[in-house]
């Protein structure tokens, strides 16, 4: 079981005040709460400020290409279903070049958790509009204001088939930690949209603005996390009011190792750690 002292792995290069620090802390809380072993936990990311997170968490990490974290995370889970797989990334990484992968990961319902650290801007490349930037948002690449409507990540997750959908705020780290723990325990594709302010390049979507817009969805009258209709209603209003907590959860068939077991190369894949067997397996796909 991991302890707090073991969980801080590398020295952070995030800006002071970045919301991602709190997301990291929330993930640490969830890992400790669940009693996960670091050798049985994998954190996968793509490219961006948020995707540095595996470097700061003392579990197995996989830093992939821009937008390609979800295919890798699914591959890790299918190759070894006993692992706990947590995928982290930003709005640019997940909903620009990675958007197609997100839709298909959700509909497959692979048993992984995807945490979107949504700061509504490209920060690592010094402040351009992202797929979730507000219309009219002025940046270096949109001096007259962004023309496109922002992607509603919660609505996309629900309509794509995610079986666990939640929304968090980096300023509410205790609640976020509990939400992440629930997502990891859920059997199926879990998605959490986290409002994680960029204090350096985004002066519009700030801690104060998110606090004014957010409300605890679970405390609303008639809340039912199994109601797809209620979840859709809350997601539709996301740009006006941010619903914090669990929006939707359902249990259905999970895409897992059973789908791989009947493949003719599956038995050979079980001993892939043996270099000799690995070479023999690869030989089958080489042209002579």
3 band by pLDDT with thresholds 50, 70 and 90: very low
pLDDT tens-digit map of 176-215: 999 999 999 999 999 999 999 999 999 999 999 999 999 9
Instruction: Give the 3-state secondary structure of residue 61.
Output: strand
Instruction: Give the 3-state secondary structure of residue 165.
Output: strand
Taking Cα atoms as reference points, which of 197, 169, 7, 172 lies closest to residue 86?
7
**35 plus 67 within the same structural domain:** yes
**197 plus 281 within the same structural domain:** no
Is 208 exposed, middle or buried, given 0-12, 13-18 or 19+ CB atoms closer than 10 A?
exposed
Residue 266, pLDDT > 80, answer no
**Residue 258: predicted pLDDT:** 52
Residue 2, pLDDT > 90, answer no
- How remote is the C-alpha of 200 from its chain's centroid? 22
Q: What is the pTM of this model?
A: 0.86
Secondary structure of 258-281 as H, E, C letters: HHCCCCCCHHHHCCCCCHHHHHHH
**179 plus 277 within the same structural domain:** no
pLDDT tens-digit map of 81-130: 999 999 999 998 989 888 889 999 999 999 999 999 999 999 888 888 99
- Euclidean distance between CA atoms 81 and 215, whole angstroms: 36
Taking Cα atoms as reference points, which of 139, 121, 95 lies closest to residue 206?
121
- Euclidean distance between CA atoms 121 and 86, whole angstroms: 22
**182 plus 247 within the same structural domain:** yes
**120 plus 246 within the same structural domain:** yes
**238 plus 284 within the same structural domain:** no
| H or E, element range at 158 | helix 153-160
**30 plus 64 within the same structural domain:** yes
Per this entry, what is the length of the chain? 288
CATH number at residue 94: 3.40.50.970
Is 85 exposed, middle or buried, given 0-12, 13-18 or 19+ CB atoms closer than 10 A?
buried
**67 plus 174 within the same structural domain:** yes
Residue 231, pLDDT > 90, answer yes
Dmax (CA) for the chain in angstroms is 67
Do residues 84 and 73 lie in contact, with contact meaning Cβ atoms separated by under 8 Å? no
In this prediction, residues 248-265 reach a mean pLDDT of 71
- Euclidean distance between CA atoms 27 and 36, whole angstroms: 11
Supply the mean pLDDT for the chain: 88
pLDDT tens-digit map of 20-58: 999 999 999 999 999 999 999 999 999 999 999 999 999
Which residues make Cβ contacts (< 8 Å) with residue 81, sequence separation at least 6?
Answer: 111, 256, 257
| Cα-trace Rg, the chain | 19
- Token pair of 30, please? 């969830």
**101 plus 163 within the same structural domain:** yes
Residue 86's CB is within 10 A of a number of other CB atoms, namely 27
**221 plus 283 within the same structural domain:** no
Instruction: Name which residue leads in pLDDT, 221 or 65.
Output: 65
Residue 6, pLDDT > 60, answer no
Domain residues for 286? 256-288
Taking Cα atoms as reference points, which of 117, 108, 200, 234 lies closest to residue 163?
108
| H or E, element range at 6 | helix 4-7
**167 plus 260 within the same structural domain:** no
Report how many domains make up the chain.
Answer: 2
Do β-strands 242-249 and 164-169 pair in parallel, antiparallel, or remain unpaired?
Answer: antiparallel
Do residues 2 and 36 lie in contact, with contact meaning Cβ atoms separated by under 8 Å? yes
**Residue 265: predicted pLDDT:** 47
**Residue 1: predicted pLDDT:** 47
**160 plus 184 within the same structural domain:** yes
């Amino acid at each position: 079981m991991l302890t707090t002292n073991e969980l801080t792995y590398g020295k952070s290069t995030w800006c002071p005040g970045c919301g991602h620090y709190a997301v990291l802390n929330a993930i640490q809380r969830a890992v400790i709460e669940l009693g996960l072993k670091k050798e049985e936990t994998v954190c996968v990311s793509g490219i961006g400020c948020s995707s540095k997170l595996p470097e700061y968490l003392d579990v197995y990490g996989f830093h992939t290409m821009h937008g390609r974290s979800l295919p890798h995370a699914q591959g890790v889970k299918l190759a070894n279903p006993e692992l706990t797989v947590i995928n982290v990334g930003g709005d640019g990484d997940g909903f620009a070049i990675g958007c197609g992968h997100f839709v298909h990961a959700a509909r497959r319902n692979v048993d992984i958790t995807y945490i979107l650290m949504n700061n509504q801007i490209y920060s690592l490349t010094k402040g351009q509009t992202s797929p979730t930037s507000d219309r009219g948002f002025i940046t270096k690449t949109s001096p007259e204001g962004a023309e496109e409507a922002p992607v509603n990540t919660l609505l996309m997750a629900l309509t794509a088939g995610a079986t666990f959908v939640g929304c968090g705020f980096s300023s509410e780290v205790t609640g976020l930690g509990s939400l992440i723990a629930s997502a990891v325990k859920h059997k199926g594709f879990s998605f959490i949209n986290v409002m994680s302010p960029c204090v350096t390049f985004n002066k519009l979507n700030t801690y104060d603005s998110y606090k004014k817009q957010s409300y605890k969805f679970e405390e609303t009258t008639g809340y039912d996390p199994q109601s797809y209709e209620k979840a859709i209603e809350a997601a539709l209003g996301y740009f006006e009011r941010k619903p914090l907590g669990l929006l939707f959860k359902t249990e259905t068939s999970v895409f897992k190792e059973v789908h791989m077991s009947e493949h003719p190369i599956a038995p050979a894949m079980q001993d892939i750690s043996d270099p000799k067997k690995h070479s023999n397996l690869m030989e089958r796909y080489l042209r002579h």
